[in-house]
Amino acid sequence: MMKKTVVVAIVSILAAGALVFGAGDEAPEAPAAPEAPVLEMKIYADNWSWSPNTIRAKKGTRVILTIENRDSPHSFVLKAYRLKVALPQDKTTTVEFIADKAGTFVWKCGRPCGNGCPKMRGTLTVLDPEAAGS
Does residue 11 lie within any of the structural domains? no
pTM of the model: 0.70
Does residue 43 lie within any of the structural domains? yes
Q: Count the domains in the chain.
A: 1
Does residue 7 lie within any of the structural domains? no
What pLDDT, in 10s, does the model give residues 65-103? Answer: 999 999 899 999 999 999 999 999 999 999 999 999 999
Does residue 16 lie within any of the structural domains? no
| Phi (first) and psi of residue 45, to 5 degrees | -105, 115
For the residues 11-15, what does the mean pLDDT come to?
Answer: 57
Does residue 31 lie within any of the structural domains? no
Q: The domain containing residue 59 runs over which residues?
A: 38-127
